[in-house]
Amino acid sequence: MSMSADSIISVRNLTMRFGSKLVHEDLNLEVRRGEVLAVVGGSGCGKTTLLRQMALLQQPSAGTVEILGYEVSDLSGMRAQKVRQHIGVLFQNGALFGGLTVLENVGLPLREHTDLSDRLIDEIAALKLSLVRLQAEDGYLYPNQLSGGMRKRVALARAIALDPEVLFLDEPTSGLDPVSADAFDELVLDLKQALDPTVVLVSHDIDTLWRVADRVVLLDDGHIVADGSMAELAGSDEPRVVRFLQGPRGRAAQAAQ
């Protein structure tokens, strides 16, 4: 195993093609254990695709993804199933199961992968709900009765149901109002402190990047063009970084720090 000691995911020589469109070209990335890594870039640069590949949801055209010490080449194989129990994914629109209540949504991974009693599963699910600051009585609602912000919280509670070692967040604050977005950032930081997962997130939200991310990689044109902390990126004079971070929005977010 050629991974360096402290990396938990390593992406090597990854190439991704959709038809004739090249999304990633020979991309290399190491995610260190315990860090909060943000993947950023313009729309359509393949951020979400990269996240899906790391989360074992999509097969790259070429190259390998090694996660938690396993190189998974067969996404439907037993090994992938096993590794997936140790990763949690927050999907952009929540992807809650409409036919299940909130509590059942959160308890589903526990019901599937453990032999615990129903009572204990419900209690653990309620505990996760309170960790994402939802009330216990919200547990009996159905997803279509929830607001967008609540739906994201429930999805986050489901993603952490099994106390994953790696947590993937796809656009965690998109579609939230600024107050809810701030609260969600805070929540991610609190969970990070409480459960200490490695977090990989994709975001457009420059405020989120400043507040949450330890390290930021900027994707452009299929390559990683910048890699460092937000402060380092903000001081960079690489034109693509400047364009992304130092527009009016980026400067406002920086000033707010």
Partner 1 sequence: MSGNIDESPRTAAARLQGARLQCSGRWTVRHLHRVEDDLAGMNWPQQGIVIDLREVERIDTGGAWLLQRQVSALRTAGHTVKLQGLSDKAAGLLRLVTDSSRHPLSTPPDNPEGFLEDLGRKSVESVDSGIGLLAFIGEMGVAGLRQLLQPRRIRWRALADALVEAGHRALGIVGLLSFLLGIVIAYQGGVQLRQYGASLFIADLVGLSMVRELAPLITAIIVAGRTGSAYTAQIGTMKVTEEVDALRSLGIPPMDLLVLPKLLALIVALPLLTVFADIMGVLGGMVMSGAQLEIAYATYIDRLGVAVTLDSFLVGIGKAPVFAFIIATIGCYQGFRVVGSAESVGRRTTISVVHAILAVIVVDAAFSVAFSHLGI
Q: Give the nearest distance from C-beta 102 to partner 1 in angstroms.
A: 12
Kindly list the residues in this chain that would bind partner 1 in the complex (CB under 8 A).
Answer: 1, 3, 5, 68-70, 82-83, 85-86, 97-99, 110, 113-117, 120, 122-124, 126-128, 130-131, 135-137, 139-140, 142-144, 162-163, 165, 194-196
Query: Least Å distance between CB 41 and partner 1?
Result: 26
Nearer to partner 1, 130 or 257 (CB): 130
Cβ at position 49, least distance to partner 1 in Å: 22
Q: Which of 19, 33, 31 is nearest to 165 (CA)?
A: 33
State which residue, 190 or 238, has the beta carbon closest to partner 1.
Answer: 190
Shortest CA distance to 192 belongs to which of 172, 178, 174?
172
Sheet holding 215-220: strands in order across? 87-90, 166-170, 198-202, 36-41, 215-220, 223-228
Whole-angstrom Cα distance, residue 21 to residue 32?
30
Q: Which is nearer to partner 1, 143 or 222 (CB)?
A: 143
Question: With respect to partner 1, which residue has the nearer C-beta, 120 or 252?
Answer: 120
* Maximum Cα–Cα distance across the chain: 57
Half-sphere exposure of 252 (CA within 13 A, CB side): 6
- Least CB distance to partner 1 at residue 22 (A): 30
Give 40 or 72: the residue with its C-beta nearer to partner 1: 72
Min dist CB 73 to partner 1, Å, is: 16
> H helices of 60-216, where?
78-84, 102-113, 118-131, 148-159, 178-195, 206-212
